[in-house]
Structure 1
Amino acid sequence: MTEAGWVQHAVWWQIYPLGFAGAYPPRSDNPGGGLRKLLPWLDYAIEMGASGLLLGPIFASETHGYDTVDHLQIDPRLGGDDEFDELVAAAKSRGLRVILDGVFNHVGRGHAALGRDNWVRRGPDGSLANFEGHDSLVALNHAEPAVADYVSDVMKHWLRRGADGWRLDAAYATPAEFWATVLPRVRAEFPESYAFGEVIHGDYADFVTRSTLDSVTQYELWKATWSALNDGNFFELSWALERHNGFLDTFVPQTFVGNHDVTRIASRLTDERHVPLALAFLLTTAGTPSIWSGDEQGFRGVKEDRAGGDDAVRPEFPDEPAGLAPYGEKLYRLHQELIGLRRRNPWLHRARTRTVHLANQQFVYEAYDGDSSLVVALNAADEPAVVPGPGGDKVELAPQSWTVLGR
């Protein structure tokens, strides 16, 4: 494993800055608040228990940030270098680390790569190759050595400016060998930096091994979490945990119940009372977890497969936390409780999990690492349930509840 030791303690608060600041989608009555709009929220993140910010795209782009036109320039809608430096300094003064979103699989049509020999991929007829059918996203030619030079230089540039690591967008669409060329160059100067890739399907462990990434996104466990709760089928979640245990032999996955690309967990679950169970599961099992900004307040939003279909899950935030509606406070307090539990038990980062009791709507599991362990029980039913606890004792669970039975 290549990840730095500090990652064991990482809990990310993920933000999509363009949406958060009101800079995208564009509004004629609001130019957006820029990166400075994040400043009043740093203490909020700390109070929730987060140890770092996982930022969405902040570099100059044509629309939504994933169509980058200049990886060395802050998007003018978010400010400039001064605003970036101010945000990083304010975060670091509070002990918050900062991860940036690197979109290096493709670029916007205004990127200089389109005017350079062999920097972008073309079809047999000479037409520009794109990312998953999106003509505005031109695929880079990752077989061109100059592209690897460029990406490694960009990554090091922003690490020198204070970033702690990178989320690599659409890493699954980029050859693993490309990352294996780039990342050692970055680590030669920044051995403590962290890099994880967006990977949805496939052999996660094999991709990590071949790419030399520290980690990849754990979409299998995300899907099993909400699906098991919706279907009343904890057998699916138990099976996914066995897969998860196997990944830990190679790497520690980046885990989540929500992010900028999926329907919010409060909307995904057919019964909103299951949100605390999903969160309890996330924060008592292995991984490097992230909380999608707004999920801690119970925000709702459905992702749609259309132009602008991400907007509902990437809303503008108030100028400061005091502007939040009061209905989210209870869920925010639960995040504090569960993140606090995890921060007090950092061994959970690499913990294996074994099933203690399994039924359609009840799941008791033990997370363990060496001599440390937690036994966690989930009851997704509308009725009380009796389950085995530590030492064989019987424990009654309230309806729609979770609890830590022993440690």
Structure 2
Amino acid sequence: MLRLIKLELKHILKMRNTVIIFFILIILSLGLSILSTYGENGYVLNNNQSTTLSGLDAVHNIQQVQKETELSGKHLADVFEKQKEIYKKYGESTPDDVFVKDVYPYSGEKSLIQWVYGIDVNYNYSKIYDKLSGNDISKFYDKLKNSRNEYLGQQLKGNTKAYELEQKRAEKIDIPFYYYPRVGWDSALDKLGLSMRIITFLCCTLAVQLFSGNYQNGADVVFRTTKHGRKALALSRTIAMSIVGIILYIVYMGGYTLSCAMLFGVKALKDPIQLISIFSCSPYTIGQVFMQTILLGIISVISVIIITLCISSRIKSPIYALAFSIAILIAPIIIQSMPSAPNLVYFIGDLFPSSGIDIYGELVRCNYYYFIRSPYVITAAAILNIILGAFLTRYFYEKYEGGR
């Protein structure tokens, strides 16, 4: 059996498409990490005129201008009073030199204040300076706790058990927050889902060739007559393709993570996830969420690959098999985009093999099915899909006698 797995693994790795996909993923990992720099803006003075920087120049500028600091209530209050003084003096027409020197370096603190106190001024942020004082801002963490509890009450309507569990998780959050300029990492996190979908799709293009492709070119007739038998052959292909999927996943994620670390530095990975999602109860840093997303995501990627093999073992056409795989990939997106759908609909969406590809959002949000958080449901469903898919692949391949 082990020898057969090695032969299948060697066969898949030597396929021309595998080599092409390998290089595509390396290039893509670099490309998407660089793409994460776009949308960032930095500012410098040039003859007392503000000049806007973008991309990698903006990243370097932000890292130089914004300083790491403890975001204590006193620090936030001091920043607020300084910004209030500038606003009272200049209004919406702050001179470029004042903006670049005294406003822009405190963008991180300003964003936090706006997120937490914005509801008090109906999100008309200019009114914050009229309505609030430094003394109000010094109680930032009390206000954050109250606002978070209100948010949880809205999100977990009537689910008292889940509400209590989220509050217990929130108690583990380290406060006051410590701020490192996190430029780029929030965008890099957002692109993990897209990355996993691309990896999965490319792996599925390989997987459909192992059964459906051989059905079409007649090679399957030869393989079935070997001494190894259909069951062993089906199982060895499933294991070999899963190993190839893991290798390609590691290659991409390794390149992507290394590239992001070189572009953005690693200090910002120590930032609490609340600096991206302010009302999140997850007691983790950005770096911890980043790694959790990668580690849990691989289970869903393998799950989709094995379900694709299962479909491929049942269907003669590789195109049809790939079409089913694409449907599996996009189904959770469609389900999650349904506004005000019953909880049962979202639960069904989490049972899809590909639902863990978007697990970053689930790790940060407070999605519950009574007292069970959605990441647990997604991970358990992916593991069950792997087991069921492997069993059905073996069963279908053994019973297959030709057809469409």
Q: Same fold (TM over 0.5)?
A: no
Structure that is richer in strand per residue? 1
TM-score (norm 1): 0.23
Larger radius of gyration: 2
TM-score (norm 2): 0.24
Structure that is richer in helix per residue? 2
